[in-house]
A and B are shown apart, each in its own frame.
Chain A
Amino acid sequence: MTAVIDKPVEPVKSVRQPGRWAAPPRPTWEEEPSRAGLAGKGLVLTLACLGILFPLWIVLVTSLSSRKTIDQAGGLVMVPKGITFVAYKELLSGGQVTRAAVISVLITVVGTAFSMTVSVLCAYGLSRIGSLGHRWILMLLLATMFFSAGLIPTYLLVQSLGLTDSYLALILPSALSVFNILVLRGFFMGIPQELVDSARIDGASDFRILWQVVMPLSRAVLAVITLFYAVGYWSAWFNASLYLNDQDMMPLQNVMIQLVQKQEAPVGLGQAIKTGELSGLAVQMAVMVMALLPVAVLSPFVQRHFKKGMLTGAVKG
């Protein structure tokens, strides 16, 4: 490392290996940052991050608190005093919330697999410049970004297709995002044509080229788009409220609306909450943690690919 320093070189007091948190050397023309500037930037950034983490911390801690701790704090708990998993145990021992969580997981897995299959196939089918009709199909897709048919006509259509009270109504109408298809297509188009051609000369079909050449080279963007679709299915509640009538079929988000927003007790746990074994507040928080945990755990792993994924989203003709 040959960092150029324009101050007189002081004798090295302690030999510190540049840690993983250390700053890389600055270019010579750049001024040394002032202490006040650094402090100000650090403060703003810390506040922004705390503004996001603090509410989540409270939710997590309260969900892990006993009824006694919650009563002592007069509601939400900021500092944990003893951890108990009683709220989670009750919620996950069968009953309304367990069922809703299983339903949400299944819809997310099946829906994401379906959306990814259709989107990847379509993106590959449109990725060859000059193929027959690709411009027309592209226009067909792009135009949907400019208009929406409207809530009522869509509702009437789904209803007349006989999809009400079926989980298909939660998957099919919102299965595709044109934006995601375009991002995938942009990425596929960036794969060197020579690779595709040589596979073709070796006799590979389009399906095989997609599976064995194109997809292995596109892991980053595939991860990002899978996350986008999965989060979409996991977070969805509106279609369920629109097309499902049976309360037992509702996914987790809809159950969360009932429990947290409308402050209802989960079916079967009302007695336990009234008699004082279980805190209603801890139950609410536990449901919220169940809804946020999968997303919070998975999204940071995909984070480093976000920029790449978004950048290739630029529409190429």
Chain B
Amino acid sequence: MTDTIKSLSSLLTEGKTSSVELCQDYLARIERLNPALNAFVTVDAEKTLLDAAAADALRAAGNAGPLTGVPIAHKDIFCAEGWLTTCGSKMLSNFVSPYDAHVIEQFKAAGMPCLGKTNMDEFAMGSSNETSYYGPVRNPWDPSRVPGGSSGGSAAAVAGRLAPAATGTDTGGSIRQPAALTGITGLKPTYGVVSRYGMIAFASSLDQAGPMATTAEDCGLLLNVMAGFDPRDSTSLERGKEDYTRDLNLPLAGLKIGLPREFFGAGLSGDTARAVEEAITQLKKLGAQTVEVGLPNSNLSVAAYYVLAPAEASSNLSRFDGVRYGYRTPEYKDLTEMYEKTRAEGFGSEVKRRIMIGAYVLSHGYYDAYYLQAQKLRRLIAQDFVEAFKQCDVILGPTAPTTAFKLGEKTADPVEMYLSDIYTIAVNLAGLPGMSLPCGFDAQGLPIGLQLIGDYFAEARMLNVAHQYQMASDWHTRAPTL
């Protein structure tokens, strides 16, 4: 089963299958494979099949949209009414959402059944899916390895063909890095394109939702559903609807690809460098030209990010206090003890570390040295991209420095784990769109991801480049044997 949502949509339109049949097939595959992969936190076949029956009824009545009846899995960071919504945390292990996130509403309106809620790093803080309260997700290409994170469940579900597509969120690389490590295609839109309403907040100035699927074309179709102005998110951009698939078939002749020299230096594994070079050769054959660009401040992006993201997280996660929703410690003497024990017991250690970093950098006497300095570096990092895009249409490089690593390999040292996102974080700081698509395999048979970075609102151009590459390659069609 390596069906794209595009092909599933055709099957439904031609009456060759029904949404109920499709969902039953995927649910059966989930039932068989999820015990080993742990990609889903919640599966509810009854709910999924109700959605599917409703989609089939819409189609029978002649009211189907292009994706009506095609199922999708949702990262457990999106509030979905009536679904357990845990965000990978004990803190929300009892939280059945009373409302839908904007993204969920959009997929419901498109008639796309929900296949379940996918596992993730706790509160999206992690690069390996090992911080989840629900246990680690296994990489379908090698179960002794991580799928990346934080959208590791979504990535593993799509890579293992447990779902044709899934939603993800990306604060510092959480769509692109797991997409790279599992051999799928994932896109983080320009900040503000997709509403964050009902998406549990980690770092609000960086968080952005996006699609994860097997092809760039599918990502474009899904982004058409997800994107759009929503007054309930104060950072949602008031832009007209656009068709993100409109440029997929444009030829690449004359395309200028920027290669940042900083992304090809020390720390990049040999196999990844070779695969990315081969992708560049392929794109040149399709008519693209390359130009070397500089992102001289990008080496500071990890440091700046680990001030800004924890600062925002410490503020956002103050809402989890055992009063209005979620976990509350069973025994306490007074209010302070209730807060402190609830948060000590409800959060895992990575989340606690980040909240503490955030509390510290925002505290009296340290604000200028840390938070303000990080915001200034953010400006420098973003300006590097502005300069680079004067010379090129898209920027290309590796998504991650290595392929999927072993479970437990980086859990002892948070800093080593943080460096997994060394090529993705700068894109979030600048607010630019970025994506990862498969471009080969290493000597151990593990997938390698190619990162494309677009200028602001240049999703359609980026998808054009990715689609043309996928028309000329077959890495995205490879699936693990399960």
Does A pair with B?
A: no
